[in-house]
Amino acid sequence: MIYRQNFNKTHQYSFRYFILFIIFTTISTFPQDNGEKIFLSVCRACHTIGQGRLVGPDLANIQNRLEEGWIIKFVKSSQKMIKSGDPLAVKTFNEYNKIIMPDQALTDAQIISVINYIKEKSPTETTSKEVKTPAFTLKNSLGFNLDEAGRDEYKLGWQYFTGEKRFENSGPPCLSCHNVVKDNLISGGLLSKDLTNAFSRLNAAGINAIISNPPFPIMRTAFENKQLTKDERYYLLAFLKQADYDSIYQHPVNYDKRFIYSGIIGLIFLLGFFGLVWYGRKKVSVKQDIFKRQLKSK
Amino acid sequence: MDVRSQVSMLFHLDKCIGCHTCSIACKNIWTDRKGAEYMWWNNVETKPGTGYPTKWEDQDIYKGGWEKKEGAGAIELKGAGKFKGLKNIFHNPHLPIMDDYYEPWTYKYSNLIESPAQDDQPTARPVSLVTGKPIDIKAGPNWDDDLSGSPDYARKDPNLENLSPAERDAMFQLEQMAFFYLPRICNHCLNPACVASCPSGAIYKRGEDGIVLINQKVCRAWRMCITACPYKKTYYNWSTGKSEKCILCYPRLEAGVAPACMHSCVGRIRYLGVMLYDADKIEEVASADEKNLVDSQLDIILDPNDPEVIEAAKANGIADSTIHSAQYSPVYKFVKEWGLALPLHPEFRTLPMLFYVPPLLPVMASLSTVKNKAQNDKLDPIAKKWDDDWLYDTSTDELWGTIDDARFPLQYMANLFSAGDTEKVSIILKKMMAVRIHRRGVTVGDLGDEKVNGALSDAGLTAEEADAIYYLTSLAKFDDRFVIPPAHREQAIEMLEDTADVKGSSGFGFTERPSRGI
């Protein structure tokens, strides 16, 4: 029996070591293979490598400008650093219009692999100006490119945007949080950014990255397990592109003052209406004239 | 024929002395609670007067009761109902406010005993029972009692409506003034406007005895019943947020005891008994033309001795004991057999089941000029002598003349009891007068048979009937005045509980240990 117990114990230990070994190797090898994948899905929404600033700064040769430890801390929680008063973090935040960089749930190793990927793709002095990031293309299931999108695609995109047509995986419609200035379109939500000029601001690549893998916490939660399909993204982009292009022809109405004035006029009208409907009501006590004559103590 | 039973009431106004004992008995039992201080389920009003709440009879102000529009066959509620109720459900525009009743108060008696020594007498200031703060008392529930404040109250009585200015003025001339008392409780109507108006369905008319009750668990304080009741006999309890009304002391009735107001009545003016009526006719009667209202309401009451009625009543589940007590009902006798009583304000069309015998006294008496000198000379020198030459004349030389030239115009009575029909009031007063003449013939014997019999036949009464009226009016014992049907609550309880579970056990036992030093 004693032998048997020992035997079991030895086997248990060896099994644990085996598991640990597997985990260790996966952690250490997986991110290196996925630096490109992570960059394309997470970072590219706001950053480029060597193509100039987008929402956030150009990350070309970031490894030369910043320390690795600083980058890891910043990626994990930029706001924490800004609040703690790190001068560089504050400077960057202010420079980029105080747009908050969302906290990324990435491991140290994953961030390092992204840095390695950036390092690899950055234009060196010898390969200056050469773009190494693969050019963005988005084709729908029929094989059409975004430039080929026409009236129908735009219409579909409109319907997806407003929720007239549901997303296949039942993600929430964009309109509930975002607004697009469009004369025939009902005003959208004010929770998030106005998307009228999103296309010129973020490019097709940026928007696609954001809607396929939202970096913003609320949006990420909203679309968790409710991924947009490739076609849906295509139609939305077609819509946003057209909306951006059309935006200069729109005549958005300013309701500010009109809203207040119509409210006041409506209130007066309603009070008058109520006054007429209940004109015959009993207004005072039947003994009012008696009470008026009575003496009152001080 | 859908025969149902109704416990109905009769108040003999000739006997009411306006002592308010009934009101106090009721208040002590039922409404001596927070939020109910201003409620007078029973109150006594002086007529002419505006009553409680002030001007309650003026439905142009309070919009109570039913109305029959020109051309329309069916009646509808004046201030509530489906459309009006929905329109006004969050703002009921015709409700009486606290000033229309009065702000209930008490006195700060502790001032009297706790005051330190000082130059002035301490006073017990009046304190509001609503806010708890000192108030100026502006009005009370019987502020116009005995014609007090007549220019403000009695002269504004809504019942003076069809009277000529001369008649009105005559009513308020000094030494011509007359008044009588009108005690009021809930009428437990056959066509109650409060039940019809309730949006929550909280008010109901009990099947076995027709008592109208408000379910306190269902009431949602919409207060439509307060507008709808033309008699203003539902009251809103501001503390509990529920409406309340006279319950005709049903716990007492079920135990075979008369309601508190009736039991305590000093003048013994109150009678209570069962009447059988035909529920199929309610709608038809309630929407009758105004001049037929009283007659058709009296027609709906069925003869409890008619075999057909008895059979239909039994088929409807009315107990034999209830039918039996209906046959001995004093109310039935006054209302149907003798035709001496009328409902209060039948024109509200709620078919009230509380009937009034109109007061004869201020009608029959008149003032005449006499020479008192000869009479005064006969008196003892120390006796009190009157120097004036007026006589409060109750003589009956001219049989019916005094009724028509009464100090109280018949029209005023008719506005109260018969929707303006003076003929109906006049017949009753004649009958009452005939009974008096008959009894004078019996006991004094100074009038002569011809005159007595002439009076009786003019009024349509026989001598036996006159004696019966006299007995029930003046001599009736407790059990003659209150013929209360057995409630058979044991049957109702058996539906809910097993009454046999204490059989064989030795009672409820002691709740406290006996202390007899054992």
Provide, as residue numbers in chain A, all residues whose Cβ is less than 8 Å from the Cβ of B154.
none
| Burial of residue B37 (number of CB atoms within 10 Å: 0-12, 13-18, 19+) | buried
CA-based nearest distance A148→chain B, Å: 60
Provide, as residue numbers in chain A, all residues whose Cβ is less than 8 Å from the Cβ of B152.
290
pLDDT of residue B384: 73
pLDDT digits (tens, 9 = 90+) for A91-100: 888 887 677 7
Sort strands B3-12 and B354-357 into parallel, antiparallel or unpaired.
parallel
Identify the CA nearest to B227 among candidates B61, B86, B353, B367: B61
The residue assigned the tokens 């703002």 is B91
The reply to whether ipTM tops 0.95 is: no
Q: Does any domain span residue B328?
A: no
Report all structural domains of chain A as residue ranges with CATH numbers, in order of start.
2-121 (1.10.760.10), 146-249 (1.10.760.10), 262-297 (no CATH)
pLDDT digits (tens, 9 = 90+) for A149-190: 788 888 999 999 999 999 999 899 999 999 888 877 888 888
B77 & B97 share domain: yes
Q: Does any domain span residue B266?
A: no
Average pLDDT over residues B164-173: 83
Query: Residue B356 pLDDT more than 90?
Result: yes
Q: Do B136 and A296 touch (CB under 8 A)?
A: yes
Q: Which one of A285, A292, A296, A298 would you mutate to disrupt binding with B, by most B Cβ within 10 Å of its Cβ?
A: A285
CB-based contact (8 Å) between A297 and chain B? yes
Provide, as residue numbers in chain B, all residues whose Cβ is less than 8 Å from the Cβ of A295.
136
Q: Do B54 and A286 touch (CB under 8 A)?
A: yes
Provide, as residue numbers in chain B, all residues whose Cβ is less than 8 Å from the Cβ of A297.
136
Question: Omega of the bond prior to B307 within 30 degrees of 0, cis?
Answer: no
pLDDT digits (tens, 9 = 90+) for B272-281: 999 999 999 9
Taking the model in full, what pTM does it have?
0.70
CA-based nearest distance A268→chain B, Å: 19
Identify the CA nearest to B265 among candidates B484, B474, B21, B481: B21
Q: Do B54 and A288 touch (CB under 8 A)?
A: no
List the Cα angle B164/B170/B171 in 5-degree steps: 95
Average pLDDT over residues A134-157: 78
pLDDT digits (tens, 9 = 90+) for B400-438: 666 666 667 889 999 999 999 999 998 999 899 899 889
Q: Do A285 and B99 touch (CB under 8 A)?
A: yes
List the Cα angle A162/A164/A166 in 5-degree steps: 100
Contact B320, B276 (CB under 8 A): no
Residue of B nearest to A280 (CA): B93
CA-based nearest distance B135→chain A, Å: 8
Q: Does any domain span residue B186?
A: yes
Question: How many Å apart are CA A150 and CA B376, to the nearest integer?
Answer: 125
Q: Does any domain span residue B318?
A: no
CB-based contact (8 Å) between A286 and chain B? yes
Identify the CA nearest to B418 among candidates B500, B331, B334, B347: B347
Query: Residue B483 pLDDT more than 90?
Result: yes
Average pLDDT over residues A121-132: 61
Q: Do B93 and A282 touch (CB under 8 A)?
A: yes
Range of the domain at B217: 14-254
Average pLDDT over residues A105-112: 84
B377 & B228 share domain: no
pLDDT band at B347; cut points 50, 70, 90: very high
Helix (H, G, I), strand (E, B) or coil at A80: helix
Provide, as residue numbers in chain B, all residues whose Cβ is less than 8 Å from the Cβ of A294.
136, 138
Q: Which one of A290, A293, A297 would you mutate to disrupt binding with B, by most B Cβ within 10 Å of its Cβ?
A: A290
Q: Do B61 and A286 touch (CB under 8 A)?
A: yes
Q: Percentage of chain A surpassing pLDDT 70?
A: 83
Provide, as residue numbers in chain A, all residues whose Cβ is less than 8 Å from the Cβ of B53.
286
Whether the CA torsion B217, B222, B227, B232 is positive or negative: it is positive
Q: Does any domain span residue B262?
A: no
Q: Does any domain span residue B34?
A: yes
State which amino acid sits at residue B122: P
Q: Which one of B63, B88, B99, B128 would you mutate to disrupt binding with A, by most A Cβ within 10 Å of its Cβ?
A: B99
B216 & B84 share domain: yes
Q: Which DSSP string corresponds to A180-196?
A: ---TTS----SSS-B-T
Show which residues on chain B lie within 8 Å of chain A, measured between beta carbons.
50, 53-55, 58, 61-62, 87, 91, 93-97, 99-100, 136, 138-139, 149, 152
CB-based contact (8 Å) between A291 and chain B? yes
Provide, as residue numbers in chain A, all residues whose Cβ is less than 8 Å from the Cβ of B223.
none
CATH number at residue B475: 1.10.3650.10
CATH number at residue B109: 3.30.70.20
B24 & B123 share domain: yes
CB-based contact (8 Å) between A280 and chain B? yes
Q: Do A286 and B139 touch (CB under 8 A)?
A: no
B405 & B517 share domain: no
Q: Which one of B86, B87, B138, B143 would you mutate to disrupt binding with A, by most A Cβ within 10 Å of its Cβ?
A: B138
B99 & B237 share domain: yes
Give the nearest partner residue to A281 out of B94, B100, B152, using CB atoms. Answer: B94
Query: Residue A135 pLDDT more than 70?
Result: no
Q: Does any domain span residue B331?
A: no
pLDDT of residue B501: 64
B161 & B126 share domain: yes
Q: Which one of B60, B92, B100 would you mutate to disrupt binding with A, by most A Cβ within 10 Å of its Cβ?
A: B100
List C-alpha distances in Å: B434 to B423, B437, B459: 16, 5, 6
Q: Does any domain span residue B147?
A: yes
B427 & B512 share domain: no
pLDDT band at B30; cut points 50, 70, 90: very high
Provide, as residue numbers in chain A, all residues whose Cβ is less than 8 Å from the Cβ of B100.
285-287
Give the nearest partner residue to B93 out of A278, A286, A287, using CB atoms. Answer: A278
B89 & B158 share domain: yes
Residue of A nearest to B92 (CA): A281
Inter-chain contacts counted by CB atoms under 8 A, chains A and B: 40
State which amino acid sits at residue B292: N
Domain boundary pick from B197, B229, B254: B254
The lowest-confidence range among B17-21, B35-39, B376-380, B496-500 is B496-500
Provide, as residue numbers in chain B, all residues whose Cβ is less than 8 Å from the Cβ of A270.
none
pLDDT band at B353; cut points 50, 70, 90: very high
Residue of A nearest to B55 (CA): A286
pLDDT of residue A1: 44
B202 & B183 share domain: yes
Contact B199, B169 (CB under 8 A): no
Domain boundary pick from B237, B254, B271: B254
CB-based contact (8 Å) between A253 and chain B? no
CB-based contact (8 Å) between A282 and chain B? yes
B409 & B454 share domain: yes
Count of structural domains, chain B: 3
Domain boundary pick from B194, B221, B254: B254
Question: How many Å apart are CA B41 and CA B57, to the nearest integer?
Answer: 16
Sort strands B180-184 and B126-128 into parallel, antiparallel or unpaired.
unpaired
Pick B302 or B394 by higher pLDDT: B302
B213 & B69 share domain: yes
Q: Do A294 and B138 touch (CB under 8 A)?
A: yes
Residue of A nearest to B58 (CA): A286
- Structural tokens at position A48: 């480029």
**Residues, chain A:** 298
Q: Which one of A273, A282, A294, A296 would you mutate to disrupt binding with B, by most B Cβ within 10 Å of its Cβ?
A: A282
Query: Residue B184 pLDDT more than 70?
Result: yes
